[in-house]
Amino acid sequence: MKSVVIKNELGLHARAAAKIANLAGRAKEKIWLIKNGEKVDASSIIDILSLGCSMGTTITFAADSKTDLELLRNIIMLAEDGFGE
């Protein structure tokens, strides 16, 4: 589990959510995105967008399985890098 602060001006928007969902969709088990205790499936763009994560929001990523830790690290690096934007 690792927390990240959203630094994109537009927040966690559709393009960024799609990048997360694409990586999370490769996981053997679930990868979760958590904001203020609300936990959603990180492989679902709709679920991610439903959290309404604006710039400055702290989100947490977690994986159900240790076999998905490398994917989880990649998602965290993506978020820390501002989703390549």
Active site residues: 13
What does the block give as tokens for 53?
A: 């994560």
- The CA–CA distances, whole Å, from 45 to 1, 26, 50, 67 equal 20, 14, 9, 22
**Under 8 Å CB-to-CB from 38, ≥6 apart: which residues?**
51
